[in-house]
Amino acid sequence: MIRKHPKPKGREAIKAWNHNKIIEASIEVIAKYGIAGTTISRVVELADVSRGLVNIHFKSKDILLKEALNYMFAEYNNTIDNAVKKAGSNPVDQIKAIITANLDPSILNKKNMGVWFAFRAQIRSMPEHLEMVETRDKCLTNHLLRIFETLNLEGGYKIPVKSVVRGFMVMLEGYWLDFHLHPRNYDREEAKNTCLFFLAGLFPKLFK
């Protein structure tokens, strides 16, 4: 559902409010109908705004799609960044926070997965969106590289960090796909425990 924010006062605040309202409606429409089925008319109806207002803010469907994906991409990266910061300086706590954030309903839900996989399905015809939907996200990759390098040093391990990062990211991606295909009987706790089991095999002294 579109987030219910009260209409603010002031021209610029109202402009930003309408902008986000249209983007959030677009995300809902993409999740339900896919890229091809997303039309300005459907966005207008869901956002309860005029077609003219959508055109003023976004000019075209392609621009609207890009802005909607940018919005979700930034939201995901902010969630991961904040999770790592809140975890403190302990790298074990940081990696646990990343796992929890990736499996949390605020990120891993039908709407978000519908949008991510809708864009991925169209990536050959829309390659300009690859950076925001690919399986090698730079924000997450950089966090994981730093964390696993720290675990190597602190635990006296010599694991191939880049290979472990790729394997770990593939695991998280697999759990996203599993949820997308089987949302009704998805077990988040089992997914989290499996990720930790994987890490315990690599860092037995740090993950018990």
**What are phi and psi for residue 129, nearest 5 degrees?**
-95, 0
Cβ pair 94, 84 in contact under 8 A: yes
For 82-129, the pLDDT digits (tens) are 999 999 999 999 999 999 999 999 999 999 999 999 988 887 777 776
Cα separation, 205 vs 208, in Å, equals 7
Give CA 138 to chain center in angstroms: 12
DSSP state of 156: T
Which stretches does DSSP call E strand in the chain?
A: none
Q: Which region, left, alpha or beta, applies to residue 162 given φ > 0 means left and ψ of -120 to 50 means alpha?
A: alpha
Report the mean per-residue pLDDT for the chain: 88
Supply the pLDDT for residue 135. Answer: 55
* pLDDT tier, 134 (very low <50, low <70, confident <90, very high otherwise): low
* pLDDT tier, 53 (very low <50, low <70, confident <90, very high otherwise): confident
Give CA 160 to chain center in angstroms: 26
Cα separation, 144 vs 86, in Å, equals 16
pTM equals 0.87
Supply the pLDDT for residue 121. Answer: 83
Domains located in the chain, CATH noted = 1-59 (1.10.10.60), 70-202 (1.10.357.10)
User: CB neighbours of 162 closer than 8 A, spacing ≥ 6?
Assistant: 145
User: CB neighbours of 182 closer than 8 A, spacing ≥ 6?
Assistant: none
Give the lowest-confidence range in 16-20, 58-62, 157-161, 182-186.
16-20
- Kindly tell me if the per-residue pLDDT of 158 is higher than 60: yes
Cβ pair 148, 161 in contact under 8 A: yes
